[in-house]
Amino acid sequence: MPDISLTMLVFLCLAAAAAGWIDAVVGGGGLLLLPAMLLGLPHVQAVQILGTNKAVAIVGTSGAAITYVRKAPVQVKTAVRIGLAALAGSMGGAFFAAGISSDVLRPVIMVVLLGVAAFVMLRPTFGTAPDADRRTVGRARMIAAIVLVGGGIGFYDGLFGPGTGTFLVLALTAVLHLDLVTASATAKIVNVCTNGGALAMFAYQGTVMWQLAALMAVFNLAGGMFGARMALRKGSEFVRGVLLVVVFSLVAKLAFDQWTT
């Protein structure tokens, strides 16, 4: 574990807890945790921060997924299928990442996110319709979910990354007509698959700070399980509000990165 002060260690653990809560509710916890780690560990290589972040995130995501599966109507088989496609997509994205400039991608993603935010705000019933009002999901739509949601967003995760969990929630809601709570639960299972693949690669490369990751993971797990329970208790309207906050935060973060670059 790197030589850091007790104050900074507490800061990182609290950031891990908050990131776990955000991830469990609507995705996007990396928006908080990665900058916190970059700030708290300025002398650590970026690849080590990324690897350690995955080791932390997979614990909180797994805890949130288990909480959701126990208490929400999640189709685990469907979620695993999408997750395996996302795993393959993320590997493909990582393969091409070296040849793509993030300076080109940031403006595109910002425009997409602003469009998403406008859509969610103009459609108050998005992700909140009762079960009886949802259309039946056919085979073609399920295949689209596996290929586009799993493979497409998984590819984006490997290629660029920020906001993957949020994109998963939105896409699952739109493609499979899930409510936002169920979409968040399904997204957690998909995230476990993608995080697991990425962590395996980072571990193979020896870029995970395991001692620090283990400590932060405890707090991330607590935040994730608490966030999942809160989302289940408060329902889709609560998730919708958090979703909009995370989307605008992501746009601001990307805009700041683009401006400083």
What is the number of other CB atoms lying within 10 angstroms of the CB of residue 250?
A: 23
**For residues 157 and 175, what is the distance between their CA atoms, to the nearest angstrom?**
19
Question: In this predicted model, what pLDDT tens digit does every residue of 146-166 receive, in sequence order?
Answer: 998 899 988 887 776 667 778
- Give strand ranges (E) for 60-218: none
Per-residue pLDDT of the chain (261 residues; tens, 9 = 90+): 667 888 999 999 999 999 899 888 877 787 778 878 877 888 888 778 888 988 998 899 899 889 888 887 777 888 889 999 998 887 787 777 555 555 665 676 677 777 767 776 776 665 565 443 445 567 888 888 899 889 998 888 777 666 777 888 888 888 888 888 888 888 888 888 878 877 887 888 888 899 999 999 999 999 999 988 988 888 877 877 887 787 788 778 777 877 776
What is the number of other CB atoms lying within 10 angstroms of the CB of residue 50?
A: 18
Question: In this predicted model, what pLDDT tens digit does every residue of 134-148 receive, in sequence order?
Answer: 455 678 888 888 998
Please give the radius of gyration of the chain, using alpha carbons only, rounded to the nearest integer.
17
The 8-class DSSP code of residue 136 comes to P
Number of continuous H segments (helices) and E segments (strands) in the chain: 11, 0
Q: What is the pLDDT of residue 1?
A: 65
**For residues 250 and 248, what is the distance between their CA atoms, to the nearest angstrom?**
5
Q: What is the pLDDT of residue 214?
A: 95
Among 179, 247, 208, residue whose Cα is nearest residue 2? 208
- For 31, 77, 199, 238, 250, the CA distances from 192, given in Å and listed in that order, are 17, 14, 10, 23, 21
Q: What is the pLDDT of residue 133?
A: 41
State the helix-helix crossing angle for 30-40 and 46-71, rounded to 10 degrees: 150
Q: How many Cα atoms occupy the beta-carbon half-sphere of 143 within 13 Å?
A: 3
Q: Which two tokens stand for residue 55?
A: 């080791």
Q: What is the pLDDT of residue 105?
A: 57
What is the number of other CB atoms lying within 10 angstroms of the CB of residue 5?
A: 9
